[in-house]
Amino acid sequence: MDLAQFVNTLGQDLLRQYGERVHKVSIDAGFNCPNRDGRLGVGGCTFCNNASFIPGQNDRPGIHEQVRTGAIAVERVTGARKLLAYFQAYTNTYADVELLNNLYQQALMQDHVVGISVGTRPDCVPDPVLDLLAHIQAQGHLVWLELGLQSSFDETLQRVNRGHDYACYVEAVERAHQRGLKVCTHLILGLPGEGAEHARITLSRVLEQGVEGLKLHPLHVVKSTRLAFQWRRGEYEPLQQQDYIDLAVELIRRTPQEVIFHRLTGTASHDLLLAPAWCEHKWAVINGISGLMAKNGWHQGDLCVADQIYREPLSSDRMLRLGTTT
Ligand code: SF4
């Protein structure tokens, strides 16, 4: 069952724009993160072991080589010949503008690369960086700014040691939009202390900011993280697969059709993943989402009511047993 029948996916959007398939290829440009290197914090987010993004990152080839080998793999598996270079690992705006431009250009200079998607933190996008991205966009390249928010609840952000608050995200989105940049916001379902109501409210707040893209994934426990300690001590219970599917489907239905979903689940490699085990199998989740929508005749945006924002208060009796701590 094709997910794109029910959801406005990035793949479909790129197909419409370019008339052929365009696939993301992940780039590890060797950045660090200010929440890990001591500038803003140490240890990073409680769930972060960045090796889970790109296993084997220690023998990292250059950007040109990463794009080249990515292109070969993508074409072999999907048939796509055009690429969106996704600067994914760590914080991909955490350097001076000259160096950033150099790194981004190394990807953009390759013929089959249509643009860049840059993953970063809301507190790491100063005006000169946004100006650079806007300049790249003005040159005719596709540019997405991917902001990791995860939750709009400051107490949750503190609990997982994000090192920024929701207001910081709102301000970053506003400055990006002033420059005409498209923003994709990353949200995690099943964060410690959060239930389905938190996810609904976070979605509503993010949509109020007018974001153009969303990325959803379940919180997974990977090795060598503080979350792994909490999970081992029984202080964190991951989501069940069906609970994740049900909640993701509801959020998709609450999202206007013009918003593009870049991702609806996340995976970690077998070597790193501790729990939940179902996070190893991306397609079971994707098929679960599209199957549920097909069975019920649902589609993205069918729960949206124009100008009506979901603001139902949190109430403990309606909380689901999602991602709770003890
Ligand atoms: S902001 Fe991203 S890279 Fe930095 S610690 Fe958190 S999850 Fe890891």
pLDDT at residue 326, as a whole number = 28
Task: Answer whether residue 87 is part of any domain.
Answer: yes
283-322 pLDDT, tens per residue?
A: 999 999 999 999 999 999 999 864 455 555 554 433 333 3
Q: Say how many domains are in the chain.
A: 1
> Ligand 1 within 6 A of 219 CB?
no
pLDDT at residue 129, as a whole number = 98
Q: How many of the other CB atoms lie within 10 Å of CB of 319?
A: 14
Q: Determine which residue's CA is closest to atom 7 belonging to ligand 1.
A: 48
Measured in angstroms, how far is the CA atom of residue 223 from the centroid of ligand 1?
15
Task: Answer whether residue 324 is part of any domain.
Answer: no
Q: Within a 13 Å sphere around the CA of 102, how many CA atoms are in the beta-carbon half? A: 7
- Choose among 266, 278, 283: nearest CA to 238: 278
| Element (DSSP H or E) covering residue 78 | helix 63-78
Distance CA 258, CA 245 (A): 21
Please give the DSSP secondary-structure letter assigned to residue 301: T
End-to-end CA distance of the chain: 38
Task: Answer whether residue 325 is part of any domain.
Answer: no
Measured in angstroms, how far is the CA atom of residue 289 from the centroid of ligand 1?
27
Domain limits for position 233: 3-318
Measured in angstroms, how far is the CA atom of residue 89 from the centroid of ligand 1?
9
> Ligand 1 within 6 A of 121 CB?
yes
pLDDT at residue 13, as a whole number = 97
Q: Residue 165 sits in a domain of what CATH number?
A: 3.20.20
Contact between 69 and 98 under an 8 Å Cβ cutoff? The reply is: no
Residues in a beta bridge with 116: 85, 143
pLDDT at residue 41, as a whole number = 84
> Ligand 1 within 6 A of 45 CB?
yes
Measured in angstroms, how far is the CA atom of residue 189 from the centroid of ligand 1?
16
53-81 pLDDT, tens per residue?
A: 443 455 789 999 999 999 999 999 999 99
pLDDT at residue 57, as a whole number = 52
Measured in angstroms, how far is the CA atom of residue 90 from the centroid of ligand 1?
6
Residue 325: which region, alpha, beta or left (left: phi > 0; alpha: psi -120 to 50)? beta
pLDDT at residue 325, as a whole number = 30
pLDDT at residue 168, as a whole number = 98
pLDDT at residue 54, as a whole number = 47
Task: Answer whether residue 149 is part of any domain.
Answer: yes
- Each as own residue / partner, the long-range contacts of residues 30-34 (CB below 8 Å, 24 or more positions apart, any chain) are 30/60, 31/87, 31/89, 31/90, 31/91, 31/92, 31/94, 31/95, 32/90, 32/91, 32/94, 33/90, 33/91, 33/94, 33/121, 34/91, 34/94, 34/121, 34/123, 34/124, 34/163
pLDDT at residue 40, as a whole number = 87
Residues in a beta bridge with 299: none
Q: How far is CA 92 from CA 32, 291, 318, in A?
A: 8, 35, 38
pLDDT at residue 310, as a whole number = 55
* Three-class DSSP category at 245: helix
Q: Determine which residue's CA is closest to atom 8 belonging to ligand 1.
A: 48
pTM recorded for the entire structure: 0.92
Q: Determine which residue's CA is closest to atom 3 belonging to ligand 1.
A: 90
Can you list the residues of the chain whose pLDDT is less than 70?
50-58, 305-326
Contact between 36 and 51 under an 8 Å Cβ cutoff? The reply is: no
Distance CA 127, CA 148 (A): 18
